[in-house]
């Protein structure tokens, strides 16, 4: 009888421990999901800093997928080495999302040499682990191999997933297939709009990009009214996200102001203001655009913001963008030294 009581006590203790562990796991999974909502702005305002805190808490307590988002936040800061470490940490703990992220690094050459075989290896590993969204990576590889039919199949599979940004990306890839005959698929702007609209319905922080794509399709259809309508929507969305501190959106809003898209006329002062805000936030593309303004912008536009052509300033900003990891900035700096624009020629 005593043995049975002891055995019962042991079993009860194990059950209590298991229930406590499950409760803790559930708690930090919920923290992770809060982070995802804050990251994408699902049911709330986008707040990347708050999302980061949630992801750090979740990752520290065993939610390996949280490393995926922490890594992308580091990629956005051009800290590729730390991003790779985060992806590897999550992947080692069993995160298919992080395996997918590693594939993206090798596909894009983020801080590593381009290695499409290694990218494929990680994408296939993620898919085999049940992450259908990783088909986006396989689709991009198929496009590079000029196999649009296979790419389309991969993107359609990815669109069946549940990770908001990746599902939106899959729809956007599908839309892009129909914007040109270059892929071997008949150009169809109406079909492209359909897919971009689906991307827009799913996405949160990239809505402005998809709205801009829709506007471009209407422009190609010579539907000026619809084009302007969607440019206005994109402008408003970029401004909303810029106000929330999303650096790409600051730059996109600045570009819209510079070009006068969604507006009656260009607003060069606002463009200059937001390029500088994005640059101060560390967004290298915005830094590069400031350099371009100093170098290429016409005199009338420069006068509107109270600056003049300045080769020295242009090179300074190009170099800042290059130092931050922006590859086109590196290329431009090299060209300036080759031509001696604002610097002494140095081959």
What are the pLDDT digits (tens) for 102-139?
999 999 988 899 999 999 999 999 999 999 999 999 99
Confidence of residue 180 (pLDDT cuts 50, 70, 90): confident
Average pLDDT over residues 32-57: 88
> Do 84 and 105 meet the contact criterion of CB atoms below 8 Å apart?
yes
Q: State the CB neighbour count (10 A cutoff) for residue 166.
A: 21
d(CA 166, CA 254): 26
> Do 247 and 283 meet the contact criterion of CB atoms below 8 Å apart?
yes
Q: Which of 296, 293, 260 is nearest to 278 (CA)?
A: 293
> Do 317 and 288 meet the contact criterion of CB atoms below 8 Å apart?
yes
d(CA 319, CA 328): 10
pTM attached to this predicted model: 0.79
Identify the weakest region by mean pLDDT among 38-52, 70-84, 171-185, 329-343: 329-343
Tens-digit pLDDT profile for residues 200-247: 988 767 788 999 999 999 999 999 999 999 999 999 999 998 998 888
Tokens coding 305: 């913001």
d(CA 286, CA 184): 34
Burial state string for 229-248 with b = 16 or more CB within 10 A and e = fewer than 16:
bbbbbbbbbbbbbbeeebbb
Torsion on CA atoms 232, 233, 235, 240, rounded to nearest 10: 140
Confidence of residue 20 (pLDDT cuts 50, 70, 90): very low
C-alpha distance from residue 146 to each of 149, 155, 183, 330 (Å): 9, 15, 7, 29
Q: State the CB neighbour count (10 A cutoff) for residue 130.
A: 9
d(CA 104, CA 108): 6
Give the pLDDT confidence score for residue 16 in this predicted structure: 43
Tokens coding 24: 């803790």
d(CA 314, CA 86): 35
Q: Positive or negative, the Cα torsion across 172, 230, 268, 238?
A: negative
Give the pLDDT confidence score for residue 47 in this predicted structure: 85
Q: What is the 3-state secondary structure (H, E, C) of 131-174?
A: CHHHHHHHHHHHHHCCCHHHHHHHHHHHCCCCCHHHHHHHHHHH
Q: Does the structure show a pLDDT above 70 at 284?
A: yes
Q: Which of 180, 181, 209, 176 is nearest to 194 (CA)?
A: 176
Q: Does the structure show a pLDDT above 70 at 11?
A: no
Q: Is 306 exposed, middle or buried (0-12, 13-18, 19+ CB in 10 A)?
A: exposed
């Amino acid at each position: 009888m005593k043995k049975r009581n002891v055995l019962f006590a042991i079993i009860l203790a194990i059950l209590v421990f298991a229930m406590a562990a499950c409760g803790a796991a559930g708690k930090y999974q919920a923290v992770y999901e809060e982070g995802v909502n804050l990251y994408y702005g699902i049911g709330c305002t986008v707040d990347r800093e708050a999302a980061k805190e949630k992801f750090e808490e979740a990752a520290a307590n065993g939610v390996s997928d949280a490393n995926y988002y922490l890594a992308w936040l580091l990629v956005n800061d051009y800290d590729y080495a730390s991003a790779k470490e985060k992806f590897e940490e999550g992947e080692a703990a069993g995160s298919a999302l992080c395996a997918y992220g590693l594939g993206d690094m090798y596909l894009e050459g983020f801080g590593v040499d381009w290695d499409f075989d290694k990218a494929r290896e990680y994408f296939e590993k993620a898919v085999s682990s049940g992450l259908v969204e990783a088909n986006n990576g396989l689709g991009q590889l198929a496009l590079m191999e000029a196999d649009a039919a296979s790419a389309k199949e991969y993107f359609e599979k990815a669109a069946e997933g549940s990770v908001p940004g990746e599902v939106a990306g899959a729809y956007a890839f599908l839309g892009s297939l129909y914007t040109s005959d270059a892929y071997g698929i008949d150009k169809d702007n109406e079909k492209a709009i359909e897919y971009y609209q689906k991307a827009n319905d799913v996405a949160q922080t990239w809505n402005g990009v998809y709205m801009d794509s829709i506007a471009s399709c209407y422009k190609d259809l010579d539907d000026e009214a619809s084009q302007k309508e969607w440019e206005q929507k994109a402008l408003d969305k970029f401004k909303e996200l810029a106000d929330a501190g999303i650096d790409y959106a600051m730059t996109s809003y600045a570009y819209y102001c510079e070009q006068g898209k969604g507006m009656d006329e260009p607003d060069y002062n606002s463009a200059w203001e937001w390029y500088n805000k994005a640059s101060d936030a560390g967004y290298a593309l915005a830094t590069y655009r400031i350099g371009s303004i100093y170098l290429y912008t016409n005199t009338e536009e420069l006068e509107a913001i109270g600056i003049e052509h300045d080769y020295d300033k242009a090179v300074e900003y190009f170099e800042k963008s290059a130092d931050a990891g922006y590859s086109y900035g590196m290329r431009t700096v090299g060209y300036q030294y080759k031509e001696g624009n604002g610097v002494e020629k140095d081959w």
